[in-house]
Amino acid sequence: MNTSSSGMPDFPLEARAVSPAVVSPTRPLYWSVRRELWENRSIYIAPLAAGALYVVGLLISLIHLPRDVREIAMMEPAQQSTMLSHYYAHAGMLLVLTGFLVGIFYSLDALHSERRDRSILFWKSLPVSDLTTVLSKASIPLVVLPVIVFAITIVLQLIAFVLSTGVLLTTDAGASMLWTKLPLFQIQLGLLYSLTVMVLWHAPVYGWLIFVSGWARRATFLWAVLPPLALCVGEYLSFHTTYFTDLLLKDRLFGFAGRAFNLVAPDGTPVDAHFIPVAQFTPGRFLSSPGLWVGLIVAGALLFAAVRLRRYREPI
């Protein structure tokens, strides 16, 4: 038997070469987002709890559903769709409000918690850039929470539809009106449109909160609230005007509604917020609004500043 003089087996050099593993650029971002979901269970527990509260309220309201349907049947056809939508729109309103509050408190703690518990030292030792970390945290209020809110709301509305149909079939009220007059698809389409509009409009709010969470050493809520509040109060005391109040509070929080929807019907009557028909959507006016693009630029600048801050920030 022939062996090499060195006592080592004869393998080609190419066989011994090991090619380095190729990591997808999106892989660290994917696992960073999953890390946020693991560490912050309120992201999905709070919407689920709100959904459970809605189901409890729905079960109680089903007692009066046959009477309500009889009263709705006596209204004008246009009003019937709006009134039937109330049961389903309330689910979306409750979940959207819950998601907004969770997004605010999550953003305030996003970069601050890792400095407070000193885990930033561990995460910085991993091959994950500061940009990836900040983007993963920003994606929670801007992407993940809206998706969770939309999915849970759709399930709740389907549950409400099934339970309502079952109750009406057992009474003399009948379920035909529910099947013919309820614009369920339009309600769900309006929810998806509203969530998209709100995410884009509120992007600078989340960007500001994430920036403050990476900068402040303590009391992130006060540091996030006091500077805008001081601007508003200082302007009013000095000039007796409310430009900052209208811009920073009213317009940035609620200004999307007047731009994304036509809130007045063709006959001049106000549109009920529980059900806004697709014909009243104004995406062109919203996308052409200067306030939208200025807000997105400000949000991008704040997130860029948060990336730079994290690069040099140390544990508290």
Count of structural domains, the chain = 1
> Is 24 part of a structural domain of the chain?
no
> Tokens 């992130």 identify what position?
220
pTM: 0.87
Neighbours of 188 (CB within 10 A): 17
Q: What pLDDT is stored for residue 121 in this prediction?
A: 79
Residue 29 domain-assigned? no
Domain that holds residue 84: 40-312
In-domain check, residue 11: no
Is residue 92 in a domain? yes
Question: Cβ distance 178 to 69 under 8 Å?
Answer: yes
**Which residue is listed with tokens 């709301």?**
153
44 is a domain residue? yes
What pLDDT score was predicted for residue 4? Answer: 47
Q: State the pLDDT at residue 24.
A: 64
Give pLDDT, residue 101.
Answer: 96
* Spatial separation of the C-alpha atoms in residues 177 and 256, rounded to whole Å: 33
Whether the CB-CB separation of 262 and 282 falls below 8 Å is answered with: yes
Domain-embedded: residue 46: yes
Cα-Cα-Cα-Cα dihedral sign, residues 170, 172, 176, 177: negative
What is the predicted pLDDT for the residue at 197? 96
Cα–Cα nearest to 141, from 273, 25, 47: 47
Structural domain contains residue 27: no
Do 271 and 77 meet the contact criterion of CB atoms below 8 Å apart? no
The rounded average pLDDT for each run of 10 residues, N- to C-terminus, in the chain (316 residues) is: 49 47 69 90 95 93 84 80 86 95 95 85 81 93 96 95 85 70 90 96 96 91 91 87 83 91 84 88 94 95 93 76
Residue 31 included in any domain: no
